[in-house]
């Protein structure tokens, strides 16, 4: 079931006209009222519709027509149902989950609706350059492929297909600590810099080796993720895993995910995560508690790579980050899968921009699905915009070609928005181009 309001509306429109729904005797208006509060309510309502329509246990009978090739896609949402068809339901749950009732996923999307565009006319926009520079490297687009773990759970080529797409379209890619491809392989396939996303380990000796390895491999930057330090409660992931009839233990030694546990399932599964294996057994230096700013200082001292923090959402933390010498920030709530704040990242962005005062780059992520979303973030002061699920929909649907198509669609939409706003470079985009809706 699509979680995005636009896809949901399209799906509902399809369902409302479906002979199956009519045959079920369910009133489409009632159906419309029932849907839309949370992923959990959506799933329950769909299950009801399926039972009434006589298609138990499968969404197939009620699916809208799917695109057959990346070229058929009109927007990134077109990839979602194709990916859902291809990806096993437990893995789909891992992709789709937020925390608690998934409300922050919806909040991230709704945040963009609070801003409207102020288009400008009669400016020569025949040539437009949407490129940005990050730490000396020029990219033709501000759209960043954010770290997403375990990509071979979505397509057999996983991060390798994504790195190929990043190379073909020249986008910045950030590789997760829990990727199913090593940082060395990702950089080799990308044929250019890939940033490394860091999940710290309870043993500093191991964390330090991971950082040094990323640096040796040629990563110019690491993004230390700070939004899961308190854990997260991912109910949709657990619920969907329970619906999967396959034997999880065949691949995951720890079995299916457990309630109340975020990301990691079981340490024994690290053998499937190349960035977590192959380190020397040095005398352990165990962390005391969870990381604080002291850890950030240590991280900075341990590497000459740029160090970014991923998951900052307040002006206070942004200012502290600059004080501690951090080189950049991701305004992020982990795509609504960290704390269930119900606050959109686009709403958090202005206070982070104020805290940073232009001193370091800011990447904003969370719910970016349209070129207009990217434009609004840049207008509010972001340097670039990160995407997670949309490119995984492309990957799950059509592998590398799907990822490339998602990037091309978002880039085209963004450049059209730039032109409609009378801006020909990213530097020209500012607050005067948007207004509260
Ligand atoms: C399935 C999945 C796995 C993710 N894995 C990681 C990860 O390993 N490290 C990390 O810092 N962020 C991770 N994220 C968060 C993304 O980097 C990003 O913040 C988020 O997906 C952006 O929101 P969006 O999915 O709405 O575009 C993950 C997100 C998803 C959906």
pLDDT of residue 347: 98
Q: Give the integer Cα–Cα distance in Å for 279 and 319.
A: 35
Q: Give the integer Cα–Cα distance in Å for 398 and 287.
A: 42
Q: Give the integer Cα–Cα distance in Å for 52 and 74.
A: 32
Domains in the chain, CATH or no CATH each: 1-65 (no CATH), 109-436 (3.20.20.70)
For the segment 363-373, the average pLDDT, to the nearest whole number, is: 98
Least confident of 227-241, 325-339, 359-373: 227-241
Pocket mutation for ligand 1, best pick of 148, 312, 377 (most atoms within 8 Å of C-beta): 148
Per-residue pLDDT tens digits for 61-91: 556 689 999 999 999 999 999 999 999 999 9
Report whether pLDDT(219) > 80. yes
Per-residue pLDDT tens digits for 104-118: 999 999 999 999 999
Beta strands in 86-129 (DSSP E): 115-117
pLDDT of residue 420: 98
Q: Give the integer Cα–Cα distance in Å for 185 and 191.
A: 10
Considering the chain, what percentage of its residues have pLDDT values greater than 70? Answer: 84
For the segment 162-180, the average pLDDT, to the nearest whole number, is: 98
Residue entry with tokens 């491809």: 181
pLDDT of residue 334: 98
Using CA positions, which residue lies closest to atom 6 of ligand 1? Answer: 148
Cα(394) to centroid of ligand 1, in Å?
15
Cα(208) to centroid of ligand 1, in Å?
23
Q: Give the integer Cα–Cα distance in Å for 397 and 303.
A: 38
For the segment 407-435, the average pLDDT, to the nearest whole number, is: 98
Report whether pLDDT(45) > 80. no
CB 149 less than 6 A from any atom of ligand 1? yes
Report whether pLDDT(265) > 60. no
Closest ligand 1 atom, residue 332 Cα: 19
pLDDT of residue 160: 98
pLDDT of residue 46: 63
Closest ligand 1 atom, residue 150 Cα: 3
Report whether pLDDT(124) > 80. yes
Report whether pLDDT(60) > 90. no
Give the global pTM. Answer: 0.89
For the segment 35-49, the average pLDDT, to the nearest whole number, is: 59
> Can you spell out the DSSP letters for 371-428?
HHHHHHHHHTT-SEEEESHHHHHHHHHHTHHHHHHHHHHHHHHHHHHHHHTT-SBGGG
**First CA to last CA across the chain, in angstroms?**
28
Q: Give 57's pLDDT tier (boundaries 50, 70, 90).
A: very low
Cα(25) to centroid of ligand 1, in Å?
40
Q: Give the integer Cα–Cα distance in Å for 155 and 429.
A: 36
Q: Tell me the average pLDDT of the chain.
A: 90
Q: Give 408's pLDDT tier (boundaries 50, 70, 90).
A: very high
Using CA positions, which residue lies closest to atom 19 of ligand 1? Answer: 334
pLDDT of residue 59: 47
CB 96 less than 6 A from any atom of ligand 1? no
Using CA positions, which residue lies closest to atom 21 of ligand 1? Answer: 388
Residue entry with tokens 């609070």: 114
Considering the chain, what percentage of its residues have pLDDT values greater than 90? Answer: 79
CB 178 less than 6 A from any atom of ligand 1? yes
Q: Give 21's pLDDT tier (boundaries 50, 70, 90).
A: low
Question: How many angstroms separate the Cα of 374 from the Cα of each of 147, 172, 419?
Answer: 18, 15, 14
Marked catalytic residue, from 200, 252, 334, 433: 334
Q: Give 99's pLDDT tier (boundaries 50, 70, 90).
A: very high
Q: Give the integer Cα–Cα distance in Å for 426 and 129.
A: 7
Pocket mutation for ligand 1, best pick of 334, 368, 384, 396 (most atoms within 8 Å of C-beta): 334
Cα(228) to centroid of ligand 1, in Å?
11
pLDDT of residue 259: 80
What are the beta bridge partners of residue 330?
310, 363
pLDDT of residue 272: 85
At residue 137, the 3 state secondary structure works out as strand
Write the CB contacts of 361 (distance below 8 Å, at least 6 apart in sequence).
134, 135, 327, 328, 329, 383, 384
CB 194 less than 6 A from any atom of ligand 1? no
pLDDT of residue 109: 98
Pocket mutation for ligand 1, best pick of 88, 388, 393, 406 (most atoms within 8 Å of C-beta): 388
Q: How many Cα atoms sit within 13 Å of 324 on the Cβ side? A: 22
Cα(103) to centroid of ligand 1, in Å?
16
Least confident of 95-109, 259-273, 368-382, 398-412: 259-273
CB 150 less than 6 A from any atom of ligand 1? no
Q: Give 340's pLDDT tier (boundaries 50, 70, 90).
A: very high
CB 368 less than 6 A from any atom of ligand 1? yes
Question: How many angstroms separate the Cα of 286 from the Cα of each of 138, 170, 251, 280, 338?
Answer: 39, 39, 29, 15, 24
For the segment 149-157, the average pLDDT, to the nearest whole number, is: 97
Known catalytic residue: 155? no
Per-residue pLDDT tens digits for 269-322: 777 899 999 999 999 999 999 999 999 999 999 999 999 999 999 999 999 999
């Amino acid at each position: 079931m699509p979680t995005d309001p636009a896809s949901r509306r399209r799906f509902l429109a399809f369902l409302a006209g479906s002979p199956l729904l009519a045959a079920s005797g369910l009133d489409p208006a009632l159906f419309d009222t029932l849907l839309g509060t949370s992923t959990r309510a959506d799933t329950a309502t769909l299950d009801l519709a399926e039972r009434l329509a006589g298609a138990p246990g499968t969404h197939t009978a009620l699916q809208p027509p799917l695109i057959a090739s990346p070229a058929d896609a009109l927007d990134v949402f077109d990839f979602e149902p194709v990916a859902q068809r291809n990806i096993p339901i437990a893995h789909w749950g891992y992709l789709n989950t937020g925390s608690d009732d998934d409300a922050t996923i919806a909040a991230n999307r709704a945040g963009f609706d609070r801003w409207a565009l102020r288009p400008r006319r009669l400016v020569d926009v025949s040539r437009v350059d949407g490129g940005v520079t990050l730490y000396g490297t020029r990219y033709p687009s501000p759209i960043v492929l954010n770290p997403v773990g375990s990509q071979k759970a979505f397509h057999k080529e996983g991060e390798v297909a994504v790195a190929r797409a990043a190379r073909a379209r020249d986008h910045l890619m950030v590789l997760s600590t829990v990727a199913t491809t090593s940082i060395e392989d990702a950089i080799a396939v990308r044929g250019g810099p890939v940033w490394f996303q860091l999940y710290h380990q309870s043993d500093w000796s191991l964390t330090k080796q991971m950082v040094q390895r990323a640096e040796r491999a040629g990563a110019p930057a690491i993004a230390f993720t700070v939004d899961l330090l308190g854990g997260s409660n991912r109910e949709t992931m657990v619920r969907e895993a329970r619906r999967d009839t396959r034997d999880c233990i065949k691949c995951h030694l720890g079995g299916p995910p457990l309630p109340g546990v975020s990301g990691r399932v079981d340490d024994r599964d690290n053998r499937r995560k190349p960035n977590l294996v192959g380190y020397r057994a040095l005398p352990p230096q165990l962390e005391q508690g969870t990381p604080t700013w002291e850890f950030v200082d240590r991280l900075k001292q341990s590497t000459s790579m740029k160090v970014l923090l991923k998951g900052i959402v307040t002006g206070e933390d942004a200012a502290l980050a600059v004080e501690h010498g951090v080189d950049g920030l991701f305004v992020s709530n982990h795509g609504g899968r960290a704390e269930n704040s119900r606050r959109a990242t686009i709403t958090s962005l202005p206070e982070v921009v104020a805290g940073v005062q232009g001193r370091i780059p800011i990447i904003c992520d969370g719910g970016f699905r349209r070129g207009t979303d990217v434009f609004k973030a840049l207008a509010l002061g972001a340097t670039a915009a990160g995407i997670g699920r949309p490119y995984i929909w492309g990957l799950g649907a059509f592998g590398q070609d799907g990822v490339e198509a998602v990037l091309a669609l978002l880039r085209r939409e963004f450049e059209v928005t730039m032109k409609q706003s009378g801006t020909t470079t990213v530097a020209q985009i500012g607050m005067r181009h948007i207004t509260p809706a």
